[in-house]
Amino acid sequence: MMILKLSDGYYCKADDNFIYEELEKRISDTLHLRKDSFAEFYTKRIFQAFFQYARDLKKEYLTYYGQEYDSFADYLYKKELMELEHIKILNLSERQTLFKLNINLSSYNADSLIEYEDNGIDILNQALEEIGL
């Protein structure tokens, strides 16, 4: 599972059975954060900001556009207007989906964590790796 910045926005590559609630459940134990602490509260708040209004593009494709487009990659290119180069970089497998993150819809400032510093996105990706979904 990984967050990426692709020209026009932020995306997250994940297994297609990913459930955000499961990520939240694992945060305290896997990241060694005391329950109900400041650190736990803010770690959850940050991930919530990233995923609260995220669109599961694979789910949308399968639900509404499966017959209209030849493949998920075709859908990403023609409907979501993603660059072919980016679709190639994503290298999505059959069992993976792509979330389009809408960080600014849920948080005034969470994007500053990844836009203000080069390593911000690495911190979150390392956390996602430790959470192991």
Partner 1 sequence: MKIRQDFVTNSSSTSFIISMKDDLNKERFLKDIGIEGPSSVSRLFEELYEAVEQNKQDIIEYMKESRTSYRSVAEFLQTEHYDEETVKTIEKLLAENRKVYYGNLRSDGYSAAEVYFCSESFLICEDNLYFNGKIGGW
Q: Which is nearer to partner 1, 42 or 64 (CB)?
A: 42
The residues in 38-57 that bind partner 1, with binding defined as CB under 8 A, are 38-40, 42-43
Binds partner 1 by CB under 8 A, chosen from 31, 62, 73, 133: 31
- In the three-class reduction of DSSP (H, G, I as helix; E, B as strand; rest coil), residue 132 is classed as coil
Q: List all residues 6 or more positions away from 13 whose beta carbon is below 8 Å from its beta carbon.
A: 1, 2, 4, 90, 92, 96, 97, 98, 99
The residues in 77-106 that bind partner 1, with binding defined as CB under 8 A, are none
Q: Which is nearer to partner 1, 5 or 59 (CB)?
A: 5
76 is a contact residue toward partner 1 (CB under 8 A): no
**20 within 8 A of 51, measured Cβ to Cβ:** yes
